[in-house]
Amino acid sequence: MRKAAIIGVGQTPVGEHWDASIRMIAADAVHAALEDAGLKSVDALYVGNAYGASFSSQSQLGALIADYSGLGGVETFTVEAGDASGGAALRTGYLAVASGAVETALVLGVEKSTDTVSTAHTRARNVSLDADYEAVQGATLTALAALVMRRYMHEYGVDLSAFENFSINAHANGGKNANAMYRNQIKPGAFARAPMISEPVSLFDSAPDADGAAAVIITSGERAGDLVPRPVEILGSAAASDTLALAERADLLDLSAVRASVYRAFQQAGVTHRDIDLFELHDAFTILSALTLEAAGFAERGQGWKLAKDGQIGLAGELPLCTFGGLKSRGNPVGATGVYQAVEAALQLRGAAGANQVADARIALIQNIGGFGSTAITHILSV
Using CB under 8 A as the criterion, which residues of the chain lie in contact with a copy of itself when the complex forms? 1, 21, 23, 44, 50-54, 56-60, 62-64, 66-67, 72-82, 84-85, 88, 91-92, 94-96, 98-102, 123, 126-132, 135, 237-244, 248, 256-257, 260-261, 370-371, 374-375, 377
CB of 378 to a copy of itself, least distance (A): 11
- Taking alpha carbons only, the member of 142, 120, 155 closest to residue 195 is 142
Count CB neighbours of 270 within 10 A: 10
Cα distance between residue 152 and residue 250, in whole Å: 15
Nearest distance from residue 43's CB to a copy of itself, in Å?
A: 10
Residue 17 CA to chain centroid, in angstroms?
20
The answer to whether 271 touches 279, Cβ cutoff 8 Å, is no
- Rounded CA gap, 29 and 20, in Å? 13
C-beta closer to a copy of itself: residue 99 or 185: 99
Nearer to a copy of itself, 1 or 316 (CB): 1
Q: What are the distances in angstroms from CA 30 to CA 50, 215, 233, 339, 342?
A: 18, 6, 20, 12, 14
In angstroms, what is the minimal distance from the CB of 36 to a copy of itself?
23
Closest approach, Cβ 135 to a copy of itself, in A, equals 7
Q: What is the nearest approach in angstroms of a copy of itself to the Cβ of residue 270?
A: 15
Number of residues assigned to the chain: 383
Query: First and final CA of the chain: distance in angstroms?
Result: 19
